Amino acid sequence: MIDRSTAPAPEKSLLFNLPEVKELELANGIKLFFVRKEKLPIIYTDVLVLAGSKFDPQNKRGLGYLTSLLIDEGAGEYDSLQLSDEFEKLGSIFSVTSNHDLISMTLLSMKENFNRSLDLLSKIILTPRFEETDFLREKKKVLDRILQLKDEPSFIASTVFEKILFGETFYAYPEIGYEDTVNEISNNDVKKFYHDIFTAANSKFIVVGNLTEEEAVEQFNKYLGGWNGSPKTSVAFEMPKRNPTKFFFVHKENSAQSEIRVGHIAKKRDAADYIPTRIMNTILGGQFSSRINHNLREEKGFTYGASSVYQYYQNAGSFEVSTAVNIENTGASVSEIIKELEGIRKNISPEEIEFAKSYLIKQFPSRFETYSQVAKNIEQLLIHNLSVNELADYTAKIEAASNEEISKSALENVFPDELVVVAVGDREKVSAQLKDVSGNNAVEVDNSGNVLN
C-alpha cells in the first residue's frame, strides 16, 4: 500500500538557465535587446514605441489609439489589403497593441520568412500611408466601438475607477477616447502624432529567436538602422493624491451582477519596496489561493473570482481590487474587501509569506517558456527604464525580503481609509447597499465617471 496522506516531496532543485539578454545598439543608436532561443525555427520581434495615449491633446483623446490602428493600414508600395496579404502569404503574424504609455508592434514569423517579414515591418514603421479612406473607416470603427462599450459593465467599472483615481491627469482617460474627442481627430492629427511621437528616439527593439546576434544586428540595421527623426518626447505628470474613502456607482438597469472596483493611487514600479509589496499582494489578492478570492469565492460564493493587483504605469501606480458579484451581495462584498485590506495591515503569518515566496520563486522559470513571454519580460523592464539585469536578481530578492519588510509594505501600500469604491449595477439595488456600508449616499456617476445630480 502507498501512503497517500502527504504530498510527495520534490526531487533535487531545478536546473534552469535564465536566457541571456544582450543589449546591442544599431547604427542609428536604437537599442536592440537580443535573446537567442533555438528550440523552434521561429523568431519573435517586439518594437516598443513609448508613444501612448498620454500624448493625446486634451480635446483629441483617442489620437494615440487611432494612430496605432492606422499604422498598418498600408505602407510603402502596399495598400492596406495588400500589406495584410503579404504577411499572410508568409504565415507571419503581425499585431499592434497600445495603452497610455506605448504602442507595441509584434511580429511572429518562421525563421525562413524572417527577413521578408522584417522588411514589411520596416515599411510599416518608416512609410505608413495614412490614407484618408482608411482614416475615415477606422475612425468610424472606433466611434462605433465606443458606442458598444456602453454595454460592457467591466469596461465601465474600470474606466470610471481610473477616471476618479487619476483626476485631471492623462491616466484618467480611456485610451480609446470619447465620442466628442474622437470626432475632433483629423487625419493630419494622426500624421502629426506619427511624426512627433512615434519616433526612433522613443523606441526600443526586442528580438527573441532562432538566429545569431550577428544576424539580428545585420537584419535590423539593414531594415531599420536608418530610422531617425524627431527627438525623445515626454509629457508632464503630477501624481494625484489619495483622498478619504468615497463610494460611487453607475446605474445599469436590471443588471444580474454588479461590477466592483476598490482601490487607490499607489507607488510607481521603481519603488524601493516593489518586491515586498509584490509578495504581500500575492497573499492579499494576487492569485487563486489569496485571502480576497478565498473569502469572496470559496467561503461566501459571492463571485466567480476576485483579485487585487498593483498596476504599474510609466508615471504612476494604482492598487485595484476587481470582482463581479451577484447584485444582492454588492454591499457585503465591498465590506469584505475593505475588511481584507484592513486585515493585511494587521497581520501576515510566516506560513503565508513562505507560500507566497515559494510561488513567486518557483514559477519564475515558467515565465520564459514561449518566445513572446521572454520578450514581454524584457518589455516590462524597458517601459519602466529598469535594467534587464533585474531578471537575474529577481528570485534572490524575493528570497531576501524579510517578514518585517513584507508586513511593512502592507502599511505603506494598502490604505483602507483612502479608497475609491465603484459599483456598476442597478441603482435600486446597489445604492442602498452601498449606503449601508459607508453610512453616506454613494455618488452616482455616468459611464465616463462624470458626477450626475
Partner 1 sequence: MTKNLLKIDYEKYSLANGLQVILYPDQSFPLVAVNVWYRVGSANEKPGKTGFAHLFEHMMFQGSQNIPKEGHFRYVQEAGGSLNGSTSIDRTNYFETVPANYFELPLWLESDRMGFMIPGLTQEKLDNQKDVVMNERRQHYENQPYGLAWEKLFSNLFSSDHPYSWPTIGWMEDIAKFDLGDVKEFFNTYYCPNNATLVVGGNFNVPKTKDLIEKYFGSIPKGNTPPEVKTSRQYLSQTKKIILEDNVQLSRIYLAYHTEKAFSANDAALDILSDILTSSKNARLQKSLVFEKQIVQDISSFQYSAKLDGSFIIVSTAKPGIELEVIKKEIEDEITNLISNGITDDELMRAKNSLKSSYIYSLQKLDLIVDHLNHYNYFLNEPDSFVFDLSRYENVTKEEVVEAAKKYLLNHHVELNVIPKN
Touching partner 1, residues 284-303 (CB under 8 A): 287-289, 294, 297-303
| 133 vs 212, beta carbon nearer partner 1 | 133
Binders in 1-30 for partner 1, by CB under 8 A: 2, 4-8, 10-16
Quick one: which of 20, 57, 132, 145 contacts partner 1 (CB under 8 A)?
Answer: 145
The number of angstroms, rounded, from the C-alpha of 276 to the middle of its chain's C-alpha atoms is 21
Which grid coordinates are listed for 280?
A: 504581500
- Closest contact distance (angstroms) between CB of 8 and partner 1 is 4
Closest CA to 172 of 453, 449, 452: 449
What is the distance between the alpha carbons of residues 402 and 351, in angstroms, rounded to a whole number?
13
How much is the CA Rg of the chain, to the nearest whole Å?
A: 24
Give the list of residues 6+ apart from residue 445 with CB closer than 8 angstroms, or none: 160, 164, 248, 249, 250, 451, 452
What's the maximum distance between 2 C-alpha atoms anywhere in the chain?
77
User: Which pairing describes strands 246-251 and 203-209: parallel, antiparallel, or unpaired?
Assistant: unpaired
Does position 255 interact with partner 1 (CB under 8 A)? The reply is: yes
Smallest Cα–Cα separation from 320: which of 171, 134, 142?
171
Query: In this complex, which beta carbon is closest to partner 1, that of residue 31 or of residue 300?
Result: 300
Residue 181's contacts (CB-CB under 8 Å, 6 or more residues apart) are: 56, 59, 60, 61, 62
Could you say which residues in the range 313-352 bind partner 1, by CB under 8 A? 324-326
Q: Which of residues 350-389 bind partner 1 (CB under 8 A)?
A: 355, 358-366, 369-371
Query: For partner 1, which residue of 45, 53, 92, 322 counts as binding (CB under 8 A)?
Result: 92
SS (H, E, C) 296-309: HHHHCCCEEEEEEE
- Binder among 253, 346, 439, 452 for partner 1 (CB under 8 A): 253
Of 35-43, 166-174, 193-201, 436-444, the window that binds partner 1 (rule: CB under 8 A) is 35-43
Q: For the CB of residue 427, give the shortest distance to partner 1 in the complex, in Å.
A: 15
Q: Interface mask (CB under 8 A) for partner 1, residues 149-188, using x and -?
A: -xxxx-----------------------------------
Q: Which of residues 203-242 bind partner 1 (CB under 8 A)?
A: none
Identify which range of 60-68, 81-89, 383-391, 433-441 contacts partner 1 by CB under 8 A: 81-89
By CB under 8 A, tell whether 42 contacts partner 1: yes
Q: Does 77 bind partner 1 (CB under 8 A)?
A: no
Residue type (1 letter), 32? L
Q: How far is the CB of 318 from partner 1 (least distance, A)?
A: 23
Give the span between the Cα atoms of 198 and 204, in whole angstroms.
Answer: 12
